[in-house]
Chain A
């Protein structure tokens, strides 16, 4: 935790502690009293005796600033507590109860927000008397709407989660759910806002004091000190600068602490430019392929591609030495479990990785031209016209604020230089070619007005718009319903045939792969473990992991309650992969050698069928060996 908060947090926290400590212990510190005049010559500059100098009446400015902190911080802390005590329960109530309760509370909140708060504070303090309690109460009450809004939002985002439903199913009462399930989750954003709120309250108190409407002289407050200091600004600027600086630092510290706390739940960063090339780590010993890739005139050839991410946990070897060759008119399927590096592989081929912290190595040859060394502008030309992409989730693949038409027409206009009218006609034609009824009407719509299947058709149309040579489809149907899934896969397949493209189809569904792929590449822990023509790979599997994948899926044709073959354990941590064969901890056939030496890719009987395993002859004989798999919590159900 401390590491993620960063040094800014700790410096700020230290400053707050310092100011707070000084304010509390002001009477014990060796300082002159704040109202003692002529402790030194008036308007004297900073000196050892008076580090912040003296004001027009010869009072010690440091002392006045320290005593001023009592009011400023007192109001800050008090106002936040008050706002929290009133606002948090209201917010939790509104967010958890919803419906009428929510509407009523939020309506009041809207009204409260329409009140000009500072003006109101001024009026109340002026008429009711400028005392510490009045200032504190007014600022506290004015903070309530913001608290309510914040806590309501946080509550709302958790109240709908399944764990709350589960708690209700267990029979927990509302009070217990609020206390045990909601409160701990709302606490972090609340703590964060408490610090921001203190910053706001300190500034607000300062504003009141600056206008002469906070605690009255002679008690010093920061705002009041700054206001007084203005009079002698010409001759003694430090009188105004000292409290200004202290106030600034304190407000800044509150803001930094609040911001860092909030960042604990923040998103990670990204960049727009392709990453600078930095060599990836050397391949692990013994993983070199023994089979030499056919060099030459293939459409797309990927050679020893490696993509590593530098993370807090160490270097993650997401893709670690992948090679393949793809000819026109063929479909290559990439399969593997979640986290095996399929998506990263596609994105590294296309150069679409985030900017910072990425190490890349290897070649991507499109008809012999290495894309990884192209300057960004040329790469963009290739990306737009020759390589095309479809992603998994059609809900997020289209820009929500632009019409379908603008988006489909964009590549036509940018890359093919079409005029608007021509592009519109071409776009309509594209849409109808992917089976969208009434294309002209759809062009004028926004993505959210279309169903998931329709949106995926739109993204396919966009991918096809410039007549690409290779189509990369990363799980194009995983987010769709089964019946729609079939429609979309058929469509993609037909388009691939019609346009004589090559296709890389990423999928975790072996049935999909078996039906649509010519060649298959199985990935495990960032490596290729088996690769080859689909038929050979499925019929004469040589690699235990591929076999396990095939067996783990229930099949429609099998009778109900047919026991599934179990693959225990889970994929390895890519920052810290096991030595030897990465699959050895889960492999039913593993022997001693597997734990020490990584198997290279070797060629099987069928040409082009490669596998990485020391004991391919054992595959398919698991029943005979029949040994228990040692795993993290797999049952031992009898067969």
Chain B
């Protein structure tokens, strides 16, 4: 089964989390299946932040949950520090899973409305019997006053504060990898900036490794060391944020960038780079899944799936006809 290739993966011993050829499908009735994630590979080194960007339905959140084995993926391998997670069951899974933690998009439904903030954050230590001394420290670290916040319930907090509580809950067990699934999408710009800064600070302080998922390229770029672009369950391009913005090679990356209003980038108008709407993941196109909207699509694109290949020192792309770099110097700011 051809995935989108794994040429962009680093040597296993260099990375903390290594995902190879991940496949997740859901039943869609009448014997059909939603091909949510089809052969996606990526890796994250210790202390690194990997950004994953893509439009709704491209499988970002599904991939994130598959990492946690919630639910377990259909195929592929997920290695955390050399330990294979897929196929783990029962107690071992429970023990290993706590090393990965997650932060969700919706600040409201991320927190149990009937529990107090202290109970929410202390849940992890209580499950593992590790003592609750870190709870206050975490609340403080995310910028909440333990004395006043502890006894209140989530509905008494704003969206941004709820995200802070979620972050405290995720960090209290001292996880190795934190998966942030659109953590700022539901927030106002000013609060979004607060949460982004908080994540950067906590990352430094606790040496975290982050997988940061969002649909907003500017946000992902701001926080990430490397950015992976996904489309309809496949990988398109992997590069450092700066390279991706300065020299986007995949037609879809270019379309995404051009769709951002007032980006200050030198790209043709978006309507010349992309047309139409994403196809259904139940019946994805053959070959390259982007070909139905790609202005550069050629017969080969329908027949053969492009694999990730290296086109620059820190840039990999899955396309038969990657675009020439559009701009050499740094962008005007």
Task: Classify A-B as touching or not with yes or no (CB < 8 A).
Answer: yes
Complex formed: what's the CA distance from A173 to B241 in Å? 39
Is B261 at the interface (CB under 8 A from chain A)?
yes
Is A161 at the interface (CB under 8 A from chain B)?
yes
Q: Cβ of A557 and Cβ of B333 under 8 Å apart?
A: yes
Q: Cβ of B143 and Cβ of A562 under 8 Å apart?
A: no
Is B310 at the interface (CB under 8 A from chain A)?
no
- 1/0 contact trace for A463-495 toward B, CB 8 Å? 000000000000000000111111101100000
Is B33 at the interface (CB under 8 A from chain A)?
no
List the A side residues contacting B88 at CB < 8 Å. none
Is B235 at the interface (CB under 8 A from chain A)?
no
Complex formed: what's the CA distance from A171 to B124 in Å? 7
CB distance from B80 to the nearest CB of A (A): 13
Q: Cβ of A170 and Cβ of B197 under 8 Å apart?
A: no
Q: Cβ of A169 and Cβ of B100 under 8 Å apart?
A: yes
List the B side residues contacting A483 at CB < 8 Å. 55, 255-256, 259, 270, 274
Q: Cβ of B277 and Cβ of A484 under 8 Å apart?
A: yes
Q: Cβ of B197 and Cβ of A635 under 8 Å apart?
A: yes
List the A side residues contacting B150 at CB < 8 Å. none
CB distance from B60 to the nearest CB of A (A): 12
Is A14 at the interface (CB under 8 A from chain B)?
no
Within residues 169 to 207 of chain A, which ones have a CB less than 8 A from any CB in chain B? 169-173, 176, 180-181, 184-185
- 1/0 contact trace for B153-193 toward A, CB 8 Å? 00000101100101001100100000000000000111111
CB distance from A165 to the nearest CB of B (A): 6
Is B332 at the interface (CB under 8 A from chain A)?
yes
Kindly report which residue of chain B lies nearest to residue A636, judged by CB atoms. Answer: B201
Within residues 241 to 292 of chain B, which ones have a CB less than 8 A from any CB in chain A? 241-242, 245, 255-265, 270-271, 274, 277-278
List the A side residues contacting B114 at CB < 8 Å. 184-185
Kindly report which residue of chain B lies nearest to residue A553, judged by CB atoms. Answer: B189
Q: Cβ of A166 and Cβ of B219 under 8 Å apart?
A: no
- 1/0 contact trace for A437-461 toward B, CB 8 Å? 0000000000000010110000000
Q: Cβ of B173 and Cβ of A170 under 8 Å apart?
A: yes
CB distance from B69 to the nearest CB of A (A): 9
Query: Chain A CB within 10 Å — which of B225, B277, B331, B333 has the most?
Result: B277
Within residues 556 to 605 of chain A, which ones have a CB less than 8 A from any CB in chain B? 556-568, 570
Is B321 at the interface (CB under 8 A from chain A)?
no
Selected contact of B241 from candidates A165, A560, A635, CB within 8 Å? A560
Q: Cβ of A166 and Cβ of B217 under 8 Å apart?
A: no
List 17 interface pairs A-B (beta carbons < 8 Å), by A numbering.
A168-B97, A170-B123, A171-B97, A171-B124, A171-B173, A173-B94, A181-B115, A184-B114, A337-B190, A481-B56, A483-B270, A552-B192, A554-B221, A560-B223, A566-B193, A637-B197, A637-B201
List the A side residues contacting B102 at CB < 8 Å. 165-166, 169
Is A369 at the interface (CB under 8 A from chain B)?
no
Complex formed: what's the CA distance from A552 to B192 in Å? 8
Is B44 at the interface (CB under 8 A from chain A)?
no
Is A39 at the interface (CB under 8 A from chain B)?
no
Complex formed: what's the CA distance from A555 to B188 in Å? 15
List the A side residues contacting B123 at CB < 8 Å. 167, 170, 172, 180
Q: Cβ of A486 and Cβ of B271 under 8 Å apart?
A: yes
- 1/0 contact trace for B183-221 toward A, CB 8 Å? 000001111111011101100000000000001111101
Is B68 at the interface (CB under 8 A from chain A)?
yes
Instruction: Please tell me the size bucket of the interface on A.
Output: 35 or more
Is A508 at the interface (CB under 8 A from chain B)?
yes
Excluding A570-B190, A634-B143, 17 further A-B contacts by CB distance (< 8 Å) are A166-B170, A167-B123, A168-B70, A169-B70, A171-B98, A185-B113, A483-B274, A487-B271, A511-B263, A554-B193, A555-B264, A563-B200, A564-B196, A632-B143, A633-B145, A635-B194, A637-B197
Kindly report which residue of chain B lies nearest to residue A450, judged by CB atoms. Answer: B277
Q: Cβ of B218 and Cβ of A554 under 8 Å apart?
A: yes
Complex formed: what's the CA distance from A510 to B260 in Å? 11
Selected contact of A166 from candidates B110, B223, B262, B263, CB within 8 Å? B110
Kindly report which residue of chain A lies nearest to residue B96, judged by CB atoms. Answer: A171
Query: Chain B CB within 10 Å — which of A162, A483, A632 has the most?
Result: A483
Complex formed: what's the CA distance from A487 to B110 in Å? 33
**B-binding segment of A56-64, A250-258, A496-504, A512-520:** A512-520
Q: Cβ of A485 and Cβ of B127 under 8 Å apart?
A: no
- 1/0 contact trace for A378-392 toward B, CB 8 Å? 000000000000000
Complex formed: what's the CA distance from A557 to B222 in Å? 10
Q: Cβ of A162 and Cβ of B106 under 8 Å apart?
A: yes
Selected contact of A161 from candidates B56, B109, B190, CB within 8 Å? B109
Kindly report which residue of chain B lies nearest to residue A490, judged by CB atoms. Answer: B271
Selected contact of B218 from candidates A165, A454, A512, A553, CB within 8 Å? A553
A-B contact count, CB below 8 Å? 207
Within residues 40 to 72 of chain B, which ones have a CB less than 8 A from any CB in chain A? 55-56, 65, 68, 70
Is B152 at the interface (CB under 8 A from chain A)?
no
Q: Cβ of B277 and Cβ of A451 under 8 Å apart?
A: yes
Kindly report which residue of chain B lies nearest to residue A160, judged by CB atoms. Answer: B109
Is A549 at the interface (CB under 8 A from chain B)?
yes
Complex formed: what's the CA distance from A562 to B100 in Å? 27
CB distance from A485 to the nearest CB of B (A): 7
CB distance from A79 to the nearest CB of B (A): 28
List the A side residues contacting B169 at CB < 8 Å. 166, 170
Complex formed: what's the CA distance from A484 to B276 in Å? 8
Complex formed: what's the CA distance from A490 to B265 in Å? 18
User: Given A554-B218, A633-B161, do A166 and B188 touch, yes or no (CB 8 Å)?
Assistant: no
Selected contact of B142 from candidates A557, A566, A570, A633, CB within 8 Å? A633
Complex formed: what's the CA distance from A256 to B226 in Å? 59
Within residues 603 to 639 of chain A, which ones have a CB less than 8 A from any CB in chain B? 632-635, 637
Is B240 at the interface (CB under 8 A from chain A)?
yes
Is A399 at the interface (CB under 8 A from chain B)?
no
List the B side residues contacting A166 at CB < 8 Å. 102, 104, 110, 166, 169-170
Query: Chain B CB within 10 Å — which of A485, A512, A570 has the most?
Result: A570
Kindly report which residue of chain A lies nearest to residue B124, judged by CB atoms. Answer: A170
Q: Cβ of B219 and Cβ of A633 under 8 Å apart?
A: no
List the B side residues contacting A168 at CB < 8 Å. 68, 70, 97
- 1/0 contact trace for B99-130 toward A, CB 8 Å? 01110101001111111000010011001100
Selected contact of B193 from candidates A180, A484, A515, A552, CB within 8 Å? A552
Q: Cβ of A486 and Cβ of B261 under 8 Å apart?
A: yes
CB distance from A340 to the nearest CB of B (A): 9
Q: Cβ of B190 and Cβ of A162 under 8 Å apart?
A: no
Complex formed: what's the CA distance from A32 to B76 in Å? 80
Q: Cβ of A549 and Cβ of B189 under 8 Å apart?
A: yes
Complex formed: what's the CA distance from A369 to B257 in Å? 45
Q: Cβ of A489 and Cβ of B242 under 8 Å apart?
A: no
List the B side residues contacting A559 at CB < 8 Å. 242
- 1/0 contact trace for A527-564 toward B, CB 8 Å? 00000000000000000000011001111111111111
List the B side residues contacting A633 at CB < 8 Å. 142-145, 161, 164, 194
Kindly report which residue of chain B lies nearest to residue A571, judged by CB atoms. Answer: B188
Is A163 at the interface (CB under 8 A from chain B)?
yes
Query: Chain A CB within 10 Å — which of B65, B265, B271 has the most?
Result: B271
Is A131 at the interface (CB under 8 A from chain B)?
no
Q: Cβ of B112 and Cβ of A185 under 8 Å apart?
A: yes
Q: Cβ of A454 and Cβ of B193 under 8 Å apart?
A: no
Q: Cβ of A557 and Cβ of B263 under 8 Å apart?
A: yes
CB distance from B301 to the nearest CB of A (A): 18
List the B side residues contacting A169 at CB < 8 Å. 68, 70, 97-98, 100-102, 170
User: Given A169-B97, A633-B161, A637-B201, do A567 and B112 touch, yes or no (CB 8 Å)?
Assistant: no
Kindly report which residue of chain A lies nearest to residue B274, judged by CB atoms. Answer: A483
List the A side residues contacting B10 at CB < 8 Å. none
List the B side residues contacting A170 at CB < 8 Å. 98, 101, 123-124, 127, 169, 173
Complex formed: what's the CA distance from A139 to B114 in Å? 32
Kindly report which residue of chain B lies nearest to residue A340, judged by CB atoms. Answer: B188
Kindly report which residue of chain A lies nearest to residue B331, judged by CB atoms. Answer: A557
Q: Cβ of B188 and Cβ of A508 under 8 Å apart?
A: yes
Kindly report which residue of chain A lies nearest to residue B224, judged by CB atoms. Answer: A560
Q: Cβ of A485 and Cβ of B259 under 8 Å apart?
A: yes
Kindly report which residue of chain B lies nearest to residue A480, judged by CB atoms. Answer: B56
Kindly report which residue of chain B lies nearest to residue A485, judged by CB atoms. Answer: B259
